[in-house]
Amino acid sequence: MKLSATNILIGFALVALLAVGAGLWLSRRKDPLSTDTTVVRNIAPEATLTTSSQSPYFTNAKSILAAAIPTPFKWGDGGWNDASELAFPDWVELNWPTLMRIQSLTIVGLDAAMQPGKGADGPYGLKDFTVQAWVNGAWSTVVTVTGNTKDMTTHTLSTPVTAQKLRISITDSVDHAWSRIVQLQVQGSEA
């Protein structure tokens, strides 16, 4: 077959299309959002949960680590409520399979204003508490809160902490009766 200018142009166009297609395929394979463990994200769903105590009416405390609060939300089917009324401290502990670089956390209490169907915070938040990280074999306090009245609080660490365990230790709640958490979100990445 005689090579004409048209045939050569068609050939170039086909090669260019193949190159673009291969490039797109490779870029999708390298999508950092799906494979890069150093991307900062909510790492709470990747942790296991232990608690100081748990009300027998709350059989799904692990739900507080879920990425989203179910809608509609039914307190008891989800959420954590401790088992020692009027007694403190109470605590929840998150444990990751590997060291994490933790930047901030958000604690959502019962009836927070952002909860579907609510418009104002309920009196069920955590009043006095610390956030501690397990660093070099000991608990290190990275956040201290006293006198809080809000149901949802976000705490950005002054310096990200590298730890495998994080503990929220509660010494009083807004209603002084129970410690209650609907959801925890922790922003971080693999260390």
Residue 17, interface with Ca ion (CB under 5 A)? no
Give min distance, CB of 169 to Ca ion, in A: 11
136-158 as b/e: b if 16+ CB within 10 A: eeebeebbebeebebbbbeeebe
Q: Among 55-63, 80-88, 97-105, 130-138, which window interacts with Ca ion (CB under 5 A)?
A: 80-88
Among 42, 55, 63, 90, the residue binding Ca ion under the rule CB under 5 A is 90
Six token digits for residue 116? 């579907």
Number of residues engaging Ca ion in binding (CB under 5 A): 4
Among 87, 99, 113, 114, the residue binding Ca ion under the rule CB under 5 A is 87
Closest to Ca ion by CB, 13 or 87: 87
Residue 172, interface with Ca ion (CB under 5 A)? no
Q: Among 14-22, 81-89, 116-124, 146-154, which window interacts with Ca ion (CB under 5 A)?
A: 81-89
Q: Return the residue nearest Ca ion (CB atom).
A: 84
Strand locations in the chain (E): 41-42, 48-51, 80-81, 90-108, 126-135, 138-145, 152-173, 180-181, 183-190
Q: For binding to Ca ion (CB under 5 A), which residues are involved?
A: 82, 84, 87, 90
